[in-house]
Amino acid sequence: MLDVAKIRADFPILADEAYPGVPLVYLDSAASSQKPLAVIEAMNQYYRHSNANVHRGIHRLSEEATNAYEGARERIARFINAPDSAEVIYVRNATEAFNLVAATWGRANIGPGDEILLTEMEHHANIVPWQMVAQEKGATVRYVPFAADGTLDLTALPQLLTERTKIFSFTAVSNVFGTINPVTELVAAAKAVGAVTMVDAAQSVPHMAVDVQALGCDFLAFSGHKMCGPTGIGILYGKRHLLEAMPPYMGGGDMIRRVTLEGSTWNELPWKFEAGTPSIAEGVGLGTAVDYLNTVGMNNIHAHEQLLTSYALEALRDVKGLTLIGPPATQKGSVATFTLQGVHPHDIAELLDKDGIAIRAGHHCAMPLHHKLRVPATARASFYLYNTTQEIDQLVQSLEKVRKVFRLA
């Protein structure tokens, strides 16, 4: 089990007060996690002692920066068990990864009459880019429905996955329901009809061990800021043969091998997709975040979060008028999404904030999901390696105060 008190000491912001005399209770890690001191110091060390551009410099600072940046890529590749670090592309976030694949692989491989398969529980980042490509190419976007309990209706797959399906892009863990989807099974079903697969791992890579070779997926995307890393950095993993066949996403420096006035040729992987000066300090920070998570142990983190989620769902059931959204704790990641009868989620979040409790409220970039649920918004508490059951108790107590403010019976 985790020594949570020791872990919390690694995160400077958790010692802060939300307001004078009001301790911070951070329950919004599904949106963005907090950062350990090791990550903050690694980025500070780069700026203080190794700050230079990468790849093109011959001087010592440039070599140090390049080694730190590319060394981080290698460690990130090992973290997800990618067979080759050249298959690990730095992007700004998971959203950019989806746009990259949709704009390059999608435009080259999707045509009139083809189908793109998603699910009804996707984040907008895994819906909008595909809708744009479908509109441009005359293709159709179809969706695997979710059932009343927030799990995917897998009985619909045989009708939805057909020879017309070019790509099946889906989330590993829902950012609203918390549902842990059967990724390996979904990938295998797509392969059976010859479809390419892309996995939204933004809510899985930070919380559980992920092995891209075991999953068998063609592409996988995640963001650094949700896994103890900095903002402005994320990862696209792609199988080499697919990445090599794809055209570049952006043109400019570093992604070229040769430029003449008549035309250009492209650099090798991974740099073909990394035009311009990259987010060097952020790459260093993400590599350090991976080191930190490895030290704690991903299986330990997942087990701790399962205990927290089970505890939270049980405690929240005692709040009168509260309705939990999604499957039971055994089938979900570390989120507790809910509505409170008679109170808008934004009002819930605002009142909880007065008690120092940070949660998320809104549609969570999943408007189609909320439309199907026939609710405009939900409230979401999310947990990570540094959270405790005592903080969940504080959440429940604060929700009871919300009920009193709104004079709910």
Report residue 80: phi and psi, to 5°: -105, 10
Which one of the listed residues 242, 365, 396, 408 is annotated catalytic?
365
Dig out the tokens for 400 from the structure. 């009871």
Cα-Cα end-to-end distance for the chain: 40
Neighbours of 262 (CB within 10 A): 5
- Sign of CA pseudo-dihedral 75, 76, 82, 84: negative
Task: Report strand pairing: 140-144 vs 115-119.
Answer: parallel
Residue for token pair 């650094």 = 224
Q: Taking a C-beta distance cutoff of 8 angstroms, is the pair 181, 152 a contact?
A: yes
Q: Does residue 365 have an active-site annotation?
A: yes
Q: Report cis status (omega within 30 of 0) of the bond before 376.
A: no
- 128-139 in b/e burial notation, b at 16+ Cβ within 10 A? bbbeebbeebeb
Q: Which residues pair with 165 in a beta bridge?
A: 115
Q: Which residues pair with 144 in a beta bridge?
A: 119
Catalytic residues: 365
